[in-house]
Structure 1
């Protein structure tokens, strides 16, 4: 115990790294959801990634509090009360970790299906998702059932009221092993799918490069599992190191999945900027016509000339989809543009 130095503290490293990665994850997730919502393409994969990021931020908040109590320091430099608090907070972060990782990878699998949906790919990703749910759920069950009462995990009575530490560690080994396999698959599959889609070569290279960031998360997952030991006498230090690797794995996965959509994000915001510029120059009518020409969420193309959607002699219909529209007074004029746009949607 006396061989350790007080300066050997991993807490600051955990804070700095996690805060940087969390900021990038929150920004990229926000841009992704904003873009998908603006394009009326918001899907389950976007919702799952938003929940993933929310859980990751909640987990990071708990870690910040734990560092204040000495998380990252060796056991001999932490008081007994603080050590119990660190172990309690660490237990909460582990409970959040496994569903968060599971949701992130499920989101990536669904994103792949949105790029190209074929029966073999659907079956493959369905099997992967099933395995992800099972392996992460078993870790969660072990954490919840390991000690009776739960507080024995952190109040110093672990040996008398809990399963051997090997049970929890080996369950994490199983989860991490499957995570490594799925990380490789979820990195290679998008590259394979994108490479066979008719898009510019530059776009293919960019998407493949960004998705390859998942391989870094794969390495972090393996190191996270390797950093765990079966001893429980210096958890304030050992679990801080594991948390560093777990956070890197989690946040890099989120960032890589979001940046894979960077071309769509860039295109959306550049078009919005052009629209705002045109509005400022007084081109409201032109922008309205352009907005009617964009595809809707259901895949219909709106008529570029709204006035053509009305026939004063009969029932008004959309030229693009043939869907009957509710008649408007003075339909040949544009007196209620906002209402008209909602109706055509």
Structure 2
């Protein structure tokens, strides 16, 4: 009987070629974008339907969602040039473009994340008093500054700047561990601020004149950022 089995090297290459996570990535990010857009749309509709005007927190949240839409479009473009495939099967001439788009995606993501948290903090400013209002302002300012620098370090870590996204261009760059550690710090601070904002929401809502059931509903909804 003739052996129809392929050599191990060929089988391995076929497996690597089949490792294309691009489509799965697109399905996930577009699905999440649509779901978040539906919730944002319902929020806006509910306010306008009740005759209320959109406030600063609504506008900041809308801008945050617009940035996420832009980010999804950028990632979609990345997939068309090979993002999600094994690096062996990616056209090496497309690598600089892919890295550049990746940095644009990172900047959009970090900014959108910062603005979405800022929107929630602005909402708290309407109900907080005295020292709690000062804490909220500190969170808004410190968080936006940190996220700004987080995005910036990915663009300025090399001289010339083009060397940050073009691995074929010689340049002098920081140790990448510095960038990674800065990202870790930013993520840790972001998580800490989620907890801080949720605790401030609990502290503020508990003193409002509301039915207990309504208080619980508000506290739970305002604490979803922890997730």
Query: Corresponding residue for 1:117?
Result: 128
Q: 1:97 is matched with which residue?
A: 109
The equivalent residue for 1:162 is 173
Determine whether 1:138 maps to 2:149: yes
Matches within 5 A, 1:44-55: 44-55=56-67
Moved over 6 A (4+): none
**Structure-to-structure mapping, 1:238-257, within 5 angstroms:** none
- What's the TM-score once normalised by structure 1's chain length? 0.57
Gaps of 5+ in 2: 1-11
CA distance in 2, matches of 1:199, 1:9: 52
Paired residue for 1:62? 74
Contact 2:26–2:76 (CA under 8 A) maintained in structure 1: yes
Alignment: residue pair count: 214
CA distance in 2, matches of 1:82, 1:157: 11
Higher relative contact order structure (alpha carbons within 8 Å, sequence separation ≥ 6): 1
Q: Give CA deviations for 1:255-293 in whole Å, capped at 9, x if unaligned.
A: xxxxxxxxxxxxxxxxxxxxxxxxxxxxxxxxxxxxxxx
For the residue of structure 1 that corresponds to 2:159, the secondary structure is: coil
Contact map agreement 1:135 1:174 (CA 8 A) in 2: no
Residue 47 of structure 1 and its aligned partner are, at CA, apart by 0.9
Contact 1:75–1:83 under 8 Å retained in 2 = no
Task: Say if 1:208 and 1:6 are closer, same or farther in 2 by CA, change over 3 A.
Answer: farther
SS of structure 2 residue aligned to 1:5: helix
1:76 aligns to what?
88
Aligned partner of 2:202 in structure 1 is: 191
Correspondence for 1:326: none
| Residue 183 of structure 1: how far off its partner (Å) | 1.2
Q: Quickly say closer, same or farther: Cα 1:196–1:159, change in 2 above 3 A.
A: farther
How high is the TM-score relative to the length of structure 2?
0.84
Task: State the shift of 1:158 in Å.
Answer: 5.9
Unaligned runs of 5+ in 1: 217-345
The answer to which structure has the higher helix fraction is 2
Root-mean-square deviation over aligned CA pairs: 2.2
Could you say which structure has the larger radius of gyration?
A: 1
Please state how far the C-alpha of 1:66 moved relative to its aligned partner. 0.8
**Aligned partners of 2:78 and 2:198: how far apart in 1?**
33
Distance 1:203 1:178 in 2: 30
Q: Does 1:87 align with 2:99?
A: yes
